[in-house]
């Protein structure tokens, strides 16, 4: 990648990166590969315990040397005080329990050998405080806050010299994050994989750019090709934040079960749904029997978060462990339709940059011709 690459923005110099592509991933290998490809890798660590965060940050640092990388935590404002599963279990209604047991019976899901990702601990103040302390003590360069943006966390991370970032899906979230003092916003639109809001990326990004003033904004949600990067820059963003494209990589594939990989490889743009059946909050994922069962007439409404985690965490773990295909699904955005094979992360980044440069060049030539 050359110095003159048209997709390069001011933000690159400020953050010590070559291209303004931020790659979110739950895999340390992907995070390291994005940073090593000249972008900014961000590790999704919200389901990791404090000790795991310390070890995994060290692994990424060893792989990237002095290149910057970030870490993402989700800190919702209403969670239980303690990491006490029994306390929440007592609050799960019987109707919900029997509905989930019914799905397990209909699809012959065996018991899991261990708690699922959503039940290995309870999202609680106790866990969050330990995670925040581990991140503050680590040498990660940037801390992103996915849901919730507590001012005291922003201040604590800034005091440690870390860049702070908030993901926002509405103008009111952006206003709160700016008030908390974040250094950058990610405007994440409806198209995005994982937890997402109702405003489309095209409608959201320019509104957040206008609101943010001097604070840089990244566009997220549906960024799958270089043309999307060119569009994001034209909307006023200084870069892009991508999750879905990095799922379909050689580095991420070992973290997927065969059924999850199959669901992602075959999914087209129309094959994702937003369902609260995953975590209790709206979560875009590949459509499957799991989302269909919860959307069927007579199905109970998903519980609130994190109570829903306790209800479904173990069966979701069992579905993955035993590869129960009709129920297998994965968090993914509408951009998944662009990806039908695995490539190395470096190739994904290089392709995005090449296509983005070409799209911006084309737009420039069109301007010249018109003049």
- Cα 188 vs. chain centroid, distance in angstroms? 10
Nearest Cα residue to 44 out of 243, 237, 186:
243
- Per-residue binding letters, 235-274, with ligand FMN (x by CB under 6 A): ------xxxx------------------------------
Residue 333 CA to residue 242 CA, distance in Å, equals: 10
333 binds ligand FMN (CB under 6 A): yes
Nearer to ligand FMN (CB atom), residue 68 or residue 300:
68
Straight-line distance from the first to the last Cα atom of the chain, in angstroms, rounded to the nearest whole number: 30
Residue 314 CB, shortest distance to ligand FMN, in Å, is: 19
Residue 215 CB, shortest distance to ligand FMN, in Å, is: 18
338 phi-psi bin (left φ>0, alpha ψ -120 to 50, beta other): alpha
Distances (CA, A) of 99 to 93, 108, 263, 322: 10, 14, 24, 20
Question: Residue 138: how many CB atoms within 10 A of its CB?
Answer: 20
Residue 256 CA to residue 274 CA, distance in Å, equals: 20
Question: Residue 141: how many CB atoms within 10 A of its CB?
Answer: 21
Residue 198 CA to residue 138 CA, distance in Å, equals: 34
Nearer to ligand FMN (CB atom), residue 310 or residue 336:
336
Of 41, 222, 239, 302, the one binding ligand FMN by CB under 6 A:
222
Residue 147 CA to residue 193 CA, distance in Å, equals: 14
349 binds ligand FMN (CB under 6 A): no
Nearer to ligand FMN (CB atom), residue 95 or residue 270:
270
| Window 39 to 98, contacts with ligand FMN (CB under 6 A) | 44, 46, 72, 74
Residue 264 CB, shortest distance to ligand FMN, in Å, is: 10
Nearer to ligand FMN (CB atom), residue 103 or residue 248:
248
146 binds ligand FMN (CB under 6 A): yes
| Window 168 to 207, contacts with ligand FMN (CB under 6 A) | 188, 191-194
Residue 97 CB, shortest distance to ligand FMN, in Å, is: 26
**Token pair belonging to 352:** 């995005």
Binding site for ligand FMN (CB under 6 A): 24, 44, 46, 72, 74, 146, 167, 188, 191-194, 220-223, 241-244, 331-333, 335
């Amino acid at each position: 990648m050359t110095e003159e690459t048209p997709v390069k923005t001011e933000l690159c110099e400020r953050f010590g990166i070559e291209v303004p592509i931020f790659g979110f991933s739950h895999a340390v290998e992907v995070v390291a590969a994005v940073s090593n490809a000249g972008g900014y890798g961000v590790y999704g660590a919200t389901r990791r315990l404090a000790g795991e965060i310390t070890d995994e940050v060290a692994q990424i640092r060893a792989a990237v040397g002095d290149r910057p990388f970030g870490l993402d935590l989700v800190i919702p404002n209403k969670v239980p005080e303690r990491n006490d599963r029994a306390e929440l279990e007592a609050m799960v209604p019987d109707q919900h329990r029997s509905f989930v047991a019914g799905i397990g019976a209909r699809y012959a899901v065996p018991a899991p050998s261990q708690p699922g990702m959503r039940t290995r601990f309870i999202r609680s103040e106790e866990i969050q405080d330990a995670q925040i302390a581990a991140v503050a003590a680590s040498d990660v360069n940037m801390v992103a806050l996915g849901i919730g943006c507590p001012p005291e966390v922003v201040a604590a991370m800034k005091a440690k010299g870390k860049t702070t970032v908030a993901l926002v899906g509405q103008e009111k979230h952006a206003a709160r994050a700016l008030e908390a003092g974040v250094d950058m916003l990610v405007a994440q639109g409806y198209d995005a994989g994982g937890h997402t809001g109702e405003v489309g990326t095209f409608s959201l990004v320019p509104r957040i750019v206008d609101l943010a003033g001097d604070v840089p904004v990244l566009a997220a949600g549906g960024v799958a090709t270089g043309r999307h990067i060119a569009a994001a820059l034209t909307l006023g963003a200084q870069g892009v934040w991508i999750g879905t494209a990095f799922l379909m990589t050689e580095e991420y594939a070992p973290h997927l079960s065969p059924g999850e990989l199959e669901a992602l490889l075959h999914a087209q743009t129309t094959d994702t749904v937003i369902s609260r059946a995953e975590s209790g909050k709206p979560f875009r994922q590949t459509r499957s029997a799991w989302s269909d069962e919860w959307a069927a007439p007579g199905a109970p409404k998903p519980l609130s978060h994190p109570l829903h985690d306790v209800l479904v965490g173990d069966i979701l773990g069992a579905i993955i462990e035993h590869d129960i295909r009709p129920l297998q699904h994965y968090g993914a955005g509408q951009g998944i339709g662009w990806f039908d094979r695995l490539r190395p992360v470096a190739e994904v980044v290089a392709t995005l940059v090449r296509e983005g440069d070409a799209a911006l060049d084309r737009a420039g030539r069109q301007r010249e011709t018109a003049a």
